[in-house]
Amino acid sequence: MIIIRPAREEDLPRIRQLINKVRINPLGLDWSRFILAVTNEDELVGCGQIKPYKDGSRELASIAVDDAWRNQGIASCIIEQLIASHPGDLYLTCRSRLGEFYEKFGFKSISEDEMPSYFHRINRLARIFGRTGLIPLDLLVMKRIADSTQER
């Protein structure tokens, strides 16, 4: 059985470990913003957070599920809980191949001129550093409008 619960300060090393294991952005990992998916034995199997930015935008971020626990709906449970507990518009950055997955939660791909300043900068940096091979070239910025209702 999987339990979704708020993170505690002592969870931060395990959150960092999972984020690094699945090779996603390790910056801005504030334990107080995270929710976790854990087993009855408190084994961390998934996590996610909402990151706030100075420009007022908020990002659905750090969605990670341990490889051994994938394809069991854990990421969906984390995303649904984060969306429910954070009303208002949300953004995310993901690899293009994941766009269809996030569309199920009401996210839509947006153009560069629709992006808040933080995401505009990230998009520009992705293009620059993507040519070096340091980060993927296929990043997608998506937005979920607060009133989005989408069948899942």
152 residues of the chain, pLDDT tens digit each: 899 999 999 999 999 999 999 988 898 999 999 999 999 999 999 999 999 999 999 999 999 999 999 999 999 999 999 999 999 999 999 988 999 999 999 999 999 899 988 888 877 777 776 666 655 567 899 999 876 454 44
* Structure confidence at residue 124 (pLDDT): 78
> Are the C-beta atoms of residues 129 and 122 closer than 8 Å to each other?
no
Greatest extent of the chain over all pairs of C-alpha atoms, in Å: 46
Domains belonging to the chain, first-starting first, are 2-144 (3.40.630.30)
| Residue 150 token pair | 């989408």
* Structure confidence at residue 22 (pLDDT): 95
* 3 state DSSP class of 70: coil
CA distance 113 to 68: 39
CA 119 to chain centre: 14
* Structure confidence at residue 133 (pLDDT): 60
* Structure confidence at residue 48 (pLDDT): 98
* Structure confidence at residue 25 (pLDDT): 86
Alpha helices, H only, 4-70: 12-21
* DSSP tag of 96: G
CA distance 5 to 101: 23
* pTM of the complete model: 0.88
CA distance 148 to 22: 29
